[in-house]
Structure 1
Amino acid sequence: MNLKTVIENMNDLTKVTVAGEIDAYTAPKLREELLPLAEQSNPQLTISLRDVSYMDSTGLGVFVGLLKNVRKNDGELRLVELSDRLERLFTITGLNDIIDISSKAEGGVQ
């Protein structure tokens, strides 16, 4: 159960690439890495989930909390490059209605 994150600052955009599994074991680490980014003034976060092989409800909770903090600081959050499985997870839970998600790369994410 490994999780790897790569954070890149590109002008006004912060691009985060996440790889591995997001579950009860790894979610606290992910939250710890992402929360400071969301607490900046006007954060513009694009998070690629291309290499995420598994996510459970604790992972969803990380992104809901992240979205709250981003909005509190007048920013934007985009989740990109979701697998069909992850996109279905966000759709089933209704989170696709509140979080900007896309199966395609956007905002300079390759």
Structure 2
Amino acid sequence: MNIKVDINNLDDQKVVSVAGEIDAYTAPKLREAILPLAEEVNPNITINLKDVSYMDSTGLGVFVGLLKSVRKNNGQLNLVELSDRLERLFTITGLNDIIDISSKSEGGVQ
């Protein structure tokens, strides 16, 4: 399966829309696309996962690495529009306690 990553600027925020499956094959492409965003000064990143149909532990690892980088650069990371399945995955792993997650779109993110 392929993954599609679109990055847009919305005021001082980077809005990333991800579509497809995030697994061992596609996670490197996702990491390559979004990690540079976290290296900016005070990054403000919102990732819309509305069109992600599947994610495994490799995908979770991408988001943990992104969060570490965002925090190191005094930034903010938000995940929005997660499916029930993805929300459960983040809850089961406890990542919902360290990453800001919303099932609803926020901040003009569509």
TM-score category of the 2 structures, normalised to the smaller one: over 0.9
Question: CA RMSD, aligned part only?
Answer: 0.4
**Residues 54-80 of structure 1: CA deviation (Å, up to 9, x unaligned):** 000000000000000000000000000
1:14 is paired with a residue whose SS is strand
Distance 2:10 2:52 in 1: 22
Q: Distance in 2 between matches of 1:106 and 1:65?
A: 23
Percent identity, aligned pairs only? Answer: 79
Aligned to 1:88: 88
Task: Specify the SS of the correspondent of 1:54.
Answer: strand
State the number of aligned residues.
110
Quote the residue 1:37 is aligned against: 37
- How far apart in 2 are the matches of 1:87 and 1:62? 16
After TM superposition, the score normalised by the length of structure 1 is 0.99
Q: Does 2:22 match 1:22?
A: yes
Segments of 5+ residues of structure 2 without an aligned counterpart are none
> Can you give the 5+ residue segments of structure 1 that lack an aligned partner in the other structure?
none
Instruction: State the one-letter code of the partner of 1:39.
Output: E
Match of 2:48 in 1: 48
**Secondary structure, counterpart of 2:20 in structure 1:** strand
In the TM superposition, structure 1's runs of 4+ consecutive aligned residues that sit over 6 Å from their partners are: none
**TM-score relative to the length of structure 2:** 0.99
**1:106 & 1:39 partners in 2: Cα distance?**
23
Deviation by residue 1:34-92 (Cα, 9 ceiling, x = unmatched): 01000000000000000000000000000000000000000000000000000000000
Counterpart Cα distance in 2 of 1:87 and 1:103: 8
Does 1:101 pair with 2:85? Answer: no
Amino acid at match of 1:68: K
Letter in 2 for 1:56: D
